[in-house]
Structure 1
Amino acid sequence: MSWITNLRPRLRFFAKKETPDNLWTKCRGCSQMVFQRELKENLFVCPHCDFHERIGPAERFNQIFDGDSESGGTYARLPVPMVADDPLKFRDQKPYPARLKAARQKTGEMEAFLLARGLVAGVDSVVGVQNFDYMGGSMGMGVGAAFVAGAQEAKRQGLPYIVFTASGGARMQEGLFSLMQMPRATVAIEELNEAGLPYVVVLTDPTTGGVTASYAMLGDVQIAEPGALIGLAGQRVIEQTIREKLPEGFQRAEFLLEHGMLDKVVHRKDLKDVLGRIISMMMDARAGRNAAA
């Protein structure tokens, strides 16, 4: 028997301490590891390179609505209409209902577009947020119905409508039903315009496809977060079509701002204040017009 065998019973071995696997996040911009708590305190913006990470509706609502600095924004969730789950009985590698079930389990939500009402820098507003984690934020009947419901609630209450877009485009599993959400959203926006109510869009990373071709580009004011990918078709498809190399930064927020497709690119920490000033001025102008009439 060796000396180590005799010694082992007298040694104190400690159990391995379990460490949560979500303490650190790798930045998609600079690839540096960022402490998760630090990233959250910085509004999910990388402290090293200022890269804006994608965030979901819960984080967005907490950031954009007024409320306690510790608990986040104070708001009321608004109901969204229920629609048929599988109108075309679609199946690709798996049935469409199975994909919906997986998306609902992942996000805890029934659809990719959520609505809430609360104060944004002191202005009562209806806010819609598209959730990219839910099937890439794809636009189907549920998203279209939720968007229209938000516009109708804003019109009914006489409030501004703010929408945060994040989408890969139309939802192919719903075919023509998905594409029909584009004109539906356009009609709802026109009703807001006729009522003189602000419709403000904040384009976040990524906003592409049919969403870009409809309600994402129809705002009274178009804002984007820094570095957001915004476009209709993918860069590779465009290059293959025109047979030319695209310029540096093509389809990024800053490029679109330079070429007149956006009104402003706003850092996430300034977004609530900027939105508050915009909708406050627009609502004051509406009140002045109504008083004059």
Structure 2
Amino acid sequence: AIFTKATFKKFALFVKTNFRRQALFWYARFEGHAFFNEATFPSHVNFTEASFKVVTFEKAIFKNGAIFSRTIFFEVANFEKTNFSGNIFFNDATFKGITKFILIGEQNNLDFTYSKFNSGVFVIIEIRKGEINFKNALLENISLNFKIERDVLVNFERAILKNAQLKRKDIEFNVMQERKNKFSEAKEIYLLLKNNFHSIGRYEDESWAFKKEKDMDRLSHSYPFYMEELKSKEKKEKLPFLKWIKKGDFKKWITSAFSNMIYGYGEKPWNVIKTAVAIILIFAFSFSFIG
């Protein structure tokens, strides 16, 4: 089915349509309501540079991925109970209204690289497995609601994340860089989250993100991470432990580890009291034993 540069004035009804071959909607204009409910796309699907006023893909089935690059969604984009297989590209797409992704596929990879979500937009993303890529996306002054399982990885690399309504509990196990042991990059992501939580007044979440930022910094200087870097670069060194110490990573790691243990980088002041009490008890028992 080829609808390149087609214009649909009021309604576009593709309910339960089976697009047996490729479905091409390049530059198509949907000026009213577009319904793709329960439609089936068994092959290539391409909506590059299309525009929608209101569109719903509720219970639609995409068997081979889909491309929505540079597509504009003006009012409502509804992907509720949609079954995606493969990669779904929304590169450089623009979302100006309510956006809902409640996906039921076994593996959903949503790519929002360079996408723009207009200020005030309400976004819901609910998936069980896969990846969500917000690399270089504009996520400022929006409501970002995640209902995702722990297996889902989220990438905020170089995203503009400010005043976005987002909660720690929605993403605390899902930062892609940490899950892939890319601790230097993960540090930057938690810095981004920390600043966003501060901007919306979620200070407990900000405290958590600050602690995670420091944890990632400590791990990025650890000996296991140093060895992993050597392995990834296919380098072999004699006495790598000594080189790790000489490089300065040991000093940074031990200093950070000590700060974490004593007072949790300032986020756990009670640790200072606990440590002091422990030291006093140790010395007290030592002196009583020595006599």
TM-score range, shorter chain: under 0.3
**Which has a greater percent of helix?**
1
**Which has a greater percent of strand?**
2
TM-score norm. by structure 2 comes to 0.28
Larger radius of gyration: 2
